[in-house]
Amino acid sequence: MSQEFYSHARLYDLMFPGGGAAVDFYRADAGRHGGHVLELGCGTGQKLIPIASDGHPCVGLDFSQDMLAEAERKATERGVVVEWLQGDMRDFDLGRTFDYVFITANSLLHLHEAEDLVSCLRSVRRHLAPGARFVFDVFNPSVRLLAAADGVRRTRESSSFMDPERGNVSVDVAEVYDAPAQVTRGTWYLSTDSEPDFVVVPLEIRSIFPQELPLLLRLGDLRLVERLGNWSGQPFAVDSPLQLCICEAA
């Protein structure tokens, strides 16, 4: 579940500052669809706070109290109202339905077992109002890249960041791919010159392969309406970075 990774919410936002194409996509899509919005695995609210600021009643559910506390702090600072709930997307009952439900930034891939994925999708289905949309994005697994994970610790320049409290933080990652489980098992190391490895945390992410995805959805009583391959809305293709899936109740 990689819970420890998400117990450093302030660092998460510095490492993955958000904004950009994903926020624009969900904001526009939720805007077109309208109504009550639910995000599962909402983290620090990088997508949900902008959507709520557009006037949609929003609920964000996340496992991590630390991420939710940061989300609440940011929303309050911006004068935006969101209902933040601690819960497990594998099985939840909020006692109401929503017009737009989404799971972004590979959050769904924290569920490693097929049973957990199906249970999550069934919970989503129970929360869809008539005509509602369920949208999620997961990366498009490249067998070549997965197989290249060799367990060697390497600096990931693209993730390094400036922390106003600590200075420049470099990020190293060591990953192996557990093929039978379809899970990439990584360890992330955060360091400054004066504080090497001040954070060392595991991060384990499943892959969902293109052919299993519609089957999982079907088991969750959902239907894949359209699969896009990037944030500009191009159709999914073999070399697409993403599987951006638009779904509805089956």
Ligand X SMILES: C[S@@+](CC[C@H](N)C(=O)[O-])C[C@H]1O[C@@H](n2cnc3c(N)ncnc32)[C@H](O)[C@@H]1O
- Which residues are near ligand X by CB under 6 A? 1, 6, 18, 41-43, 46-47, 62-64, 67, 88-90, 104-107, 110
Nearer Cβ to ligand X (24/192): 24
User: Nearest Cα to 245, choosing from 13, 25, 21?
Assistant: 25
Nearer Cβ to ligand X (89/171): 89
Nearer Cβ to ligand X (105/190): 105
Residue 101 host element (H or E): strand 98-103
Residues 6+ apart with CB under 8 A from 112: 181, 182, 183, 204, 206
Min dist CB 44 to ligand X, Å, is 6
Nearer Cβ to ligand X (46/191): 46
Do 229 and 235 contact (CB within 8 A), yes or no? yes
Q: Which residue has its beta carbon closest to ligand X?
A: 43
Min dist CB 18 to ligand X, Å, is 6
Do 24 and 32 contact (CB within 8 A), yes or no? no
Min dist CB 196 to ligand X, Å, is 25
Whole-number Å distance between alpha carbons of 206 and 186: 11
Min dist CB 81 to ligand X, Å, is 18
